[in-house]
Amino acid sequence: MSFQKICVLGLGYIGLPTAATFATHGLKVVGVDINPHVIETLRNGNIHIHEPGLRTVVEAALNSGNLTVSFEPEEADAFLIAVPTPFYEDQYGEYDGRKYRLADMRAVESAAAAILPHLRKGNLVILESTSPPRTTIDLLRPILERSGLKAGADFYLCYSPERVLPGQILRELIENARVVGGITPESAHAGCDLYATFVKGEILETDATTAEMVKLMENTTRDVNIAIANEFSRLAEKFGVDVWEAINLANRHPRINILSPGPGVGGHCISVDPWFFVETAPELTPLIYHARQVNDGQPHFVVEKVKQAIGPLNGKKIAALGLAYKPDVDDLRESPATEVVHLLQKEGAVVNVWEPFKPDARIKGVDMAPSLDSALKDADTILLLVRHTQFVGFHAAEIALKTKARIAIDCVNGLEIAQWGNAGFTVYRLGVNQLDSAA
Ligand code: SAJ
């Protein structure tokens, strides 16, 4: 099947790079978003998200005339849905005393409804948003069939998960293997043909529900693996072991790859997607549920660590370094660092946050410092929450000149102990018994 024109619904972290990449590979692309800020920003030639290389690709796509943006979809050969599927903030399910999150699928429903008037025989519709198993056949198909057309017979319908890593989206979009699940084999073939426009990795065909499950299995596996690393950090502290050294040694085993502990799991994927399994099968998912509990509990563990290091928090001035959900991105969504800041403040600490990737972020109840120097100036403690490359590259002696703080608490194994010790700091590290770690 060949494609001349597609509509991409949702111009966020996935939809925008995808739309721009299709456009720079010769397709006419209508990028659709309901958010006026997004449309205005793009129409002015700017982008609303930080992702390395994205600006160049979007500029090229817009300048070529292949990418246009709009509030509404229009007739096209294919429709690609890449809208958010968060969980509800205030609604929960419960099973056997376990309270679980519920997926908010309203954006997928509205995107599907917006496609309806433009859906024609022979079109292809692809859902990319991460979704609970069976969403494509049980939620999306019935909405699209309100058009009078039959999925699989009159139009092709697929689920194809995005698997790109924020920070490396543009490269991974092209190079990663792509799974395309069709509700019929013909649908999967059509989906493959579309992605073949730019995907250089393997394109693997399957059915829609398998493709949905593949995505959830990937992110759930990562969540569970991070949970065990976080649990190891707690055990190491109890036994007077340096968890970082222990992980390093364990990972020399040919079949072991333990991930890194930290202040918790953030972002809009790994901390969300496992709930889609729990919600749809709570009776089958105690492990997945408990892994989520461990990772969500990790900010509390960090606060306990801070208290062990500096005593009661009331009135303590803490410079928190990093607020992003992970290193070297500007994305603050579901960030465990934010949770740590809130918890510290609740106990009376005065926290000043320096986030170099988003210094002007506005987050309720969080005081953002305008510069590193201003965050450090009056601090009595430095708390490293995100392993941004520039933080790891700090010269401790230079930092010592900017602050009277002589205690540094490192949650991400980012500070070189000897160097910081030489500069006069006592360093406490997550996952290391504090008595042993004092430099
Ligand atoms: N984290 C740890 N320890 C680790 C690794 C990560 O605490 O060893 C934390 C990070 O700091 C962050 C969170 O986990 O808070 C998630 O970060 P991540 O880098 O693991 O994942 P994301 O959310 O940026 O991207 C993931 C990727 N999925 C997998 O690696 C299986 C990506 O490929 C997906 O496309 C993306 O989710 C998505 O959109 O679903």
DSSP code per residue over 150-202: -BTTTBEEEE----PPTTSHHHHHHHS-EEEEESSHHHHHHHHHHHTTT--S-
Tokens describing residue 437: 């770690």
Helix (H, G, I), strand (E, B) or coil at 351: strand
Q: Indicate the residue type of 288.
A: I
Q: What is the pLDDT of residue 436?
A: 46
pTM: 0.94
Pairing type for strands 98-103 and 87-95 reads antiparallel
Query: How close is the Cα of 166 to the center of ligand 1, in Å?
Result: 8
Residue type, 290: H
Q: From the alpha carbon of 163, which atom of ligand 1 is closest?
A: 35
Per-residue pLDDT reduced to its tens digit, 245-302:
999 999 999 999 999 999 999 998 999 999 999 999 999 999 999 999 999 999 999 9
pLDDT the model gives residue 46: 93
Angle value at C-alpha 362, between 356 and 365, nearest 5 degrees: 110
192 noted as active-site residue: no
Residues of the chain with pLDDT under 70: 434-439
Ligand 1 probe mutation, 16, 131, 269, most atoms within 8 A of CB: 269
As a whole number of angstroms, the distance between CA 95 and CA 344 comes to 32
Q: Are strands 178-182 and 156-159 parallel, antiparallel or unpaired?
A: antiparallel
The first and second tokens of residue 335, run together, are 């960030």
pLDDT of residue 435: 55
Give dist(CA 29, CA 196) in Å, integer. 16
Task: Specify the pLDDT at position 434.
Answer: 63
Per DSSP bridges, beta strands 367-368 and 156-159 are unpaired
Out of 7, 158, 192, 215, the active site residue is 215
Phi, psi of 372 (to 5 degrees): -60, -45
**Residue 203 to residue 420: CA distance in whole angstroms:** 48
Give the distance (Å) from ligand 1 centre to CA of residue 423.
33
Count of CB atoms within 10 A of residue 380's CB? 17
Q: Contact 181/127 with Cβ under 8 angstroms?
A: no
Closest to 321 in 3D by CA, of 344, 304, 337, 309: 337
- Strand 350-354 and strand 367-368: the pairing is parallel
pLDDT number for residue 103: 96
> Atom 11 of ligand 1 has which residue's CA nearest to it?
326
Return the H-helix or E-strand segment holding 292.
helix 286-310
**Best of 270, 391, 392 to mutate for ligand 1, by most ligand atoms within 8 A of CB?**
270
Per-residue buried b or exposed e for 3-41, using 16+ beta carbons within 10 Å of the residue's own CB: beebbbbbbbbbbbbbbbbbbbeebbbbbbbbeeebbeb
Q: Which residues approach ligand 1 with their CB closer than 6 A? A: 130, 162-166, 218-219, 222, 226, 259-260, 262, 265-267, 269-270, 325-326
Catalytic annotation present for 215: yes
Mutate-to-test residue for ligand 1 from 83, 216, 219, highest number of ligand atoms within 8 A of CB: 219
